[in-house]
Amino acid sequence: MPAVELRGNTDLRKALRSFTPDLEKALRKELGAALRPVVKQARGFAPGNAEIMRGWQARSFSEARFPFYDAAIVKSGITYSTSVGKPNKNGFTSMARIINKSAAGSIYEIAGRIGPQPWVGPKAGGTSHKVSRSNWKGAGEQFIENLGPLTSSLKGRGRLIFKAWAANRGVAEGAAMRAIDTATKDFNARAAKGPLSKAA
């Protein structure tokens, strides 16, 4: 699932939640305000159903496993979270993130970042998602070409979230970092006045 993540000090979030829940609530509100414009713009980059290639449009009679494109699902699947994320493979957690929850949206976002998948044909065995089992060898390449170019940002390359992040030019990240700095300063100021009691 493609995501733009803002990394920060998760210990701060735990301390805010435990001792100053009002500061935690204010921080979440500020992070949300910073990320919402990017989410809105990313949704605006999602093409409508009529604009997407004909072969990827939903058909009621199809039982294919490949997720069909539905603009409403793709757009609603682009959202943000201000909760602390789970550690990734390098041990980093995120303070907030913009994510694309739909399978079709994720495909549209990043397809082609590493080129077309190797073609093995429809009769090949196995269940790997890293190969193409299309009837036609050039299907993957044509699919990627029809999606249009990827846009590069400091967080990665894509057509929706990453494109919106690039267009935002650091405004959202700057606002989020200022909110984290403010929460840190406010927490430290309260702690300097005396011991903090744990919130119920």
Q: What is the pLDDT along the chain (200 residues), one digit of tens a residue?
A: 666 676 667 788 888 999 999 999 999 999 999 999 999 999 999 999 999 988 788 766 655 667 899 999 999 999 999 998 888 788 788 889 999 999 999 999 999 998 778 888 888 878 887 888 888 888 888 889 999 999 999 899 999 999 999 999 999 999 999 999 999 999 999 988 888 888 76
What single letter denotes the amino acid at residue 187?
F
pLDDT on residue 199: 77
Dihedral sign for Cα atoms in the order 177, 181, 186, 191:
positive
In the structure encoding, which two tokens stand for residue 92, read together?
């980093």
CA distances from 120 to 93, 129, 132, 142, 171 (A): 37, 11, 6, 16, 44
Tell me, what's the pLDDT at 88? 78
Strands 94-100 and 3-7: antiparallel
Q: What's the predicted TM-score (pTM) here?
A: 0.86
> What is the model's pLDDT at position 61?
60
Rounded distance between C-alpha atoms, residue 58 and residue 62, angstroms: 8
